[in-house]
Structure 1
Amino acid sequence: MRPADLMRAIVPVFPPSESHLVRDGYLRGERRPGELRCAPSEFFMLFDMNNDGLISFKEYIFFVTLLSIPESSFSVAFKMFDIDNNGEISKEEFKQVMALMRSHNRQGAFHRDGLRTGLNVKGPVENGGLVEYFFGEDGRARLQHEKFVQFMRNLYEEMLRLEFAHYDYKQRGTISAEDFALSMVASADMGHLNKLLNRVDQLKNERHLCDLRITFEEFKNFAELRRKLQPFCLALFSYGKVNGLLTRDDFQRAAYRVCGILLTDNVIDIIFQVFDSNRDGNLSLEEFVRVLHNRERDIAQPVETGILGFLNCCWNFTNNSSIGKFLC
């Protein structure tokens, strides 16, 4: 698969609004409606050891596993296998860390040996191009903790860049308000999706929103907010309990003070257009949290049990609030 195919396999997306496509692909006998653009990725090609421009299945499982693990959890596992506490690990130690990670991921656990049922894959996941990139052809190099943490940050950002490029169909460097809204609701439950899509459609009728364009920096900041959803929701829910309502200013202030993320007025306006269900100027918090949590959950693809699942639910707050049921 190509890098953009990897993104679409992991991240739920709609066809970009400017492409005039209602779906990706076509049926036999149909006129081919066109293709979704595939943005090139220099980042993923760093690990393309055979120079075919494609990501193999075992590398796909490798990336899926990495994307499912929070940076903090990887750091804990990394340090456990750093026997001499010198901030670096060997190839064999790294393979043990990855095996542990895959056991907490649905696809990784199912393909634990790196093999796919009915598919002949040469060698386990840990022998892919990424491992060679880290440890060299002879496997004797050692991996520093800081280098891998930076790699993970780059990986997350590259996935965001590919998602943004997917919606930036005309390669203008920005995406429409409609496409940004589509990216937000793509993970919604089927029972709630239609009403959210109806609100997205209404963006075209709002003069102050229909011509808005969202930059990659704005897109990236909102994605960072998703990754900090738990502390952000704790703040919003606590504030809502005391004050009863959540206005645009409240939302923007909480994002900055709690998470250190500055959301622009344009982003806030689109969020409230989609998640202000009764148009009273206040956020429908549970609906907003449900959709964003689904996005992070779907990408992580956790198994039902295990230490990561346990840690994810060890929030005293979640046992006593309606928002909590979405965070476990």
Structure 2
Amino acid sequence: MFDLNGDGDVDSSEFEEVANLIRQQTSIGSRHRDHSNTGNTFKGVNSALSCYFFGPKLDKKLTIEKFLDFQHQLQREILTLEFSRKNPDENGKITEADFAELMLAYAGYPQKKKIKKIKRVKKRFRDHGKGISKEDYLSFFHFLNEINDVDTALTFYHIAGASIDQLTLKHVAKTVAFVDLSDHVIDVVFTIFDENMDGQLSNREFVAVMKNRLMRGLERPKDTGFVKFMHSILKCAKETKPVLLDL
């Protein structure tokens, strides 16, 4: 989309041209034209990104490899911020209930249903909770990045009449997403989504909720999501150390 001349890389003028075009055609961009403060905010983010992508003199090229590395770092920073907001204990772990709240953040459930699920998790791990480490949290979201392939695999299991138990989910995560989910994380996931506690996962509900969680609500507005992506960068830059933009 940004590579206007088709040379395989993106320069600062191509980035600026497409970014401005997207801003003009989105609802958020329209509001920017009417509110100078928001417009200045967008310009500030755009300028910082341009400097990071193309250098202080804006004379460098942005390769797909550098952009993917940036995307990976940004996602890790956002997940780390989410995790830290749950106030990890002295061992660097959050509770299973905290993990459940993060999983259900964009589920679209009625509040009563969400509370019921979180209560089930609290009750299940009240006396023998191990907590969830940041590494486990990051691994789970690496697994979610492959949720479409995971959906396909689980669907084949379902068609074949095989049950989706904890070992099956662990196997799918390993073979499809190349992630070794801990047994404890899988146990918590099943506690969230196994309504009748029969040891079987409702894969349709699980996949739907995880897709919503991965999108973080960006699929709901009619915006492209690009402008919201830019605003997310600014928000993270304000709330965390400026790791990305100082590289």
2:93 counterpart letter in structure 1: T
Aligned to 1:84: 7
C-alpha distance 131-161 of structure 1, shift in aligned 2 (>3 A) = same
Residue aligning to 2:63: 144
Normalized against structure 1, the TM-score is what?
Answer: 0.60
The corresponding residue for 2:241 is none
CA distance in 1, matches of 2:55, 2:68: 18
| Residue identity (%) | 28
* In the alignment, structure 1 residue 168 sits paired with structure 2 residue 87: yes
Unaligned runs of 5+ in 1: 1-76, 307-328
Taking the TM superposition and a 5 Å limit, the aligned residue runs for 1:25-64 are: none
Per-residue deviation, 1:230: 1.0
Equivalent-residue separation in structure 2 for 1:159 and 1:123 (angstroms)? 19
SS in 2 for 1:273: helix
Q: Which residue of 2 aligns with 1:279?
A: 197
Distance 1:157 1:278, change over 3 A: same
Q: How does 1:109-124 map to 2 (within 5 A)?
A: 109-112=26-29, 115=32, 117-120=34-37, 121-122=39-40
* Residues in 1 aligned to 2:222 and 2:53: alpha-carbon distance in whole angstroms: 31
Give the residue type in structure 2 aligned to 1:133: Y
Residue type at the aligned position of 1:252: K
Which of 3, 12, 16 aligns to 1:95? It is 16
SS of equivalent to 2:32: coil
Displacement of 1:170: 4.4
C-alpha displacement at 1:124, in angstroms?
5.7
Contact 2:173 2:179 in 1 (8 A): yes
- The match for 2:129 is 211
CA separation of 1:202/1:209 partners in 2, compared to 1, >3 Å: closer, same or farther?
A: farther
How far off its partner does 1:201 sit?
A: 1.5
| 2:228 corresponds to | none
SS at match of 2:78: helix
Pair 1:115–1:196, CA change in 2 (3 A): closer
Give 1:235's aligned amino acid: A
CA shift in 2, pair 1:283/1:122, >3 Å: closer
Alpha-carbon shift at residue 252 of structure 1 (Å): 0.8
Which blocks of at least 5 consecutive residues in structure 2 are unaligned?
A: 225-247
Q: 1:158 aligns with which of 77, 89, 92?
A: 77
Alpha-carbon distance in structure 2 between the residues aligned to 1:91 and 1:255: 39
Pairwise CA distance, 1:197: 2.5
The Cα of 1:274 is off from its aligned counterpart by: 0.8
For normalisation by structure 2, the TM-score amounts to: 0.77
Count of residues in correspondence between the two structures = 223
Distance 1:209 1:286 in 2: 30
Which of 179, 186, 194 does residue 268 from structure 1 map onto? 186
Deviation for aligned residue 1:131: 1.3
Deviation at 1:196, TM superposition (A): 3.6
Q: For residues 233-312 of structure 1, what are the structure 2 equivalents within 5 Å?
A: 233-301=151-219, 304=222
Letter in 2 for 1:284: S
CA distance in 2, matches of 1:137, 1:109: 28
SS of alignment partner, residue 300 of structure 1: coil
Secondary structure of 1:115 counterpart: helix
Aligned letter for 2:122?
K
State how far apart, in whole Å, the 2-side matches of 1:197 and 1:172 are. Answer: 27
Report the Cα offset of residue 289 of structure 1. Answer: 1.8
Distance 1:160 1:230, change over 3 A: same
Q: How many Å separate the matches in 2 of 1:222 and 1:175?
A: 14
In the alignment, the residues of structure 1 paired with residue 21 and residue 220 of structure 2 have an alpha-carbon distance, to the nearest angstrom, of 13
Indicate conservation of the 8 Å contact 1:196/1:274, yes or no.
no
Q: How many angstroms apart in 1 are the aligned matches of 2:73 and 2:221? A: 25
- State the secondary structure of the residue aligned to 1:98: helix
